[in-house]
Amino acid sequence: MRIVIISDTHIPSRGRELPKIILEEIEKSDILIHCGDFTNIETVKFLENLKEFYGVVGNMDEKEIWEYLPEKRILEIKNRKIGIIHGFGPPVGIENKILKKFEGENVNIIIYGHTHRASIKRHKDILLLNPGTPTDKIFALKNTFMILEIKEEIKAKIVEI
């Protein structure tokens, strides 16, 4: 199972469109996950027509997206429970705040955004993944997205654009 993970695309305010490399990777993947801050519903509709799609709403998203997508969701893929959330508040300590949102859910992986900075961390038995942002140049040091492979083992890779 190959999953492309993106977040904080902020289209059209901070990026005009997704970089071509992401569209190529989506084509080669099974699932697409977006962790919020699309900013407009047109981007949501575009992405959900590309591939099996799972998204959550972000703090910068317009009202229509808040009515369309959940704030948090849990998927089960290859016997792994995956939590998805955008994130909130200042970036300092965000992992702890996000872990609390999934307390008691027995998730194996939590995917989040909001900080615009890609990271792969582990908290006990939970893998914490943040794909960064593929479009924003204001808060991001580098533009990134992520590829997650779930087979016998879980492999996550940050891809710089």
Please report which confidence band the pLDDT of residue 67 belongs to, taking 50, 70 and 90 as the band edges. very high
Averaged pLDDT score across all residues of the chain: 95
Single-letter code of the amino acid located at 114? H
pLDDT tens-place string over residues 69-91: 999 999 999 999 999 999 998 88
Strand partners, 121: 128
What is the predicted pLDDT for the residue at 90?
Answer: 86
* CB neighbours of residue 120 within 10 Å: 15
Cα separations in angstroms, 118 against 48, 64, 77, 147, 161: 23, 27, 22, 12, 12
What is the predicted pLDDT for the residue at 119?
Answer: 96
pLDDT tens-place string over residues 3-54: 999 999 999 887 788 999 999 999 999 999 999 999 999 999 999 999 999 9
Domain that holds residue 14: 2-160
The tally of domains found in the chain comes to 1
Average pLDDT for 88-113: 94
Residue environment code for 58-85, b if the CB has 16+ CB neighbours within 10 A, otherwise e: bebbeeebeebbeebebbebeeebbbbb
Main-chain dihedrals φ then ψ at residue 73, nearest 5 degrees: -150, 160
Query: Is the pLDDT assigned to residue 137 strictly greater than 90?
Result: no
Single-letter code of the amino acid located at 51? K
What is the predicted pLDDT for the residue at 17?
Answer: 86
- Output the domain CATH number for residue 153: 3.60.21.10
Residue 2 DSSP label: E
What is the predicted pLDDT for the residue at 15?
Answer: 76
Q: C-alpha 47: how far from its chain's center?
A: 13
Which residues does 35 contact at the CB level (< 8 Å), separation at least 6? 5, 6, 7, 8, 55, 56, 58, 84, 85, 86, 87, 111, 112, 113, 114, 130, 131
